Structure 1
Amino acid sequence: MKKVYVCQYVNCLRNGSEAVFQAFQACPVADVEVIASECQGQCNMGVTVRVLPDNIWYCRVKPEDAIAIVQQHLKDGQLVDRLLHPRIHRR
């Protein structure tokens, strides 16, 4: 089962993480659990979304990006390159 952690800590909340969390909940996927998380330690890159067990970090996620993550990553198995955290997923 995949788990999608959407940060709900101070900086991410200021950047709209509650709406991002709700956007993920509005697009349910079988065998995927969406979790409101505590700080994930990437405050300057919020809203932070982490997908496990894939260990993929997305940053600066907006509510409309949740649809792309659901479709491309969770359903089709393709990463959403434009949202990948640049310090964690170096190219």
Structure 2
Amino acid sequence: MKQEVQLPPVNAIKPSSKARVIVCRGRSCRKYSAEEVFENFKRNLPPDVDLISVPCLGQCGNGTMVMVESDPTWYSQVHPDEVAIIIKQHIINGCPVKAMLYPKFHKK
């Protein structure tokens, strides 16, 4: 039996003083290279940013899902080669990558 994960609504997550990147490594996201995405973040994130692995972000079929919790900002369909742009543009320069935002939570 599949266990459902209850996440708070995107607007209810309180910003953290420290940046945290959450990567889904659930079964569905693993089909879309979640392990490589996680490893690319692990190798390249600045040391003051926490990297967290979760078994599911509850958005199956849209993976690999990545959430930058301090905003909060959700990214969908993240490929391993796109990790660098998220780190450079969002984590370091503070500007989310609009083209990669998860449209369910970030309306255009």
Q: TM range, normalised to the smaller chain?
A: over 0.9
TM-score (norm: length of structure 2): 0.81
Partner of 1:56: 73
Instruction: Say which SS state the counterpart of residue 86 (structure 1) adopts.
Output: coil
Instruction: Say which SS state the counterpart of residue 4 (structure 1) adopts.
Output: strand
Q: Which runs of 5+ in 1 are unaligned?
A: none
Instruction: Say which SS state the counterpart of residue 31 (structure 1) adopts.
Output: coil
TM-score (norm: length of structure 1): 0.95
One-letter amino acid matched to 2:52? I
Identity %: 34
Partner of 1:38: 55
State the alpha-carbon separation in 1 of the partners of residues 97 and 39 from structure 2: 19
Number of aligned residue pairs: give it.
Answer: 91
The RMSD of aligned alpha carbons is: 0.8
Q: 1:73: Cα distance to partner?
A: 0.2
Deviant stretches of 4+, over 4 Å: none
1:1-91 mapped onto 2 (5 Å cutoff): 1-91=18-108
Larger relative helix fraction: 1
One-letter amino acid matched to 2:96? L
One-letter amino acid matched to 2:95? Q
Greater alpha carbon shift after TM alignment, 26-35 vs 46-55:
26-35
Q: 1:88: Cα distance to partner?
A: 0.4
Larger relative strand fraction: 1
Instruction: Say which SS state the counterpart of residue 58 (structure 2) adopts.
Output: coil
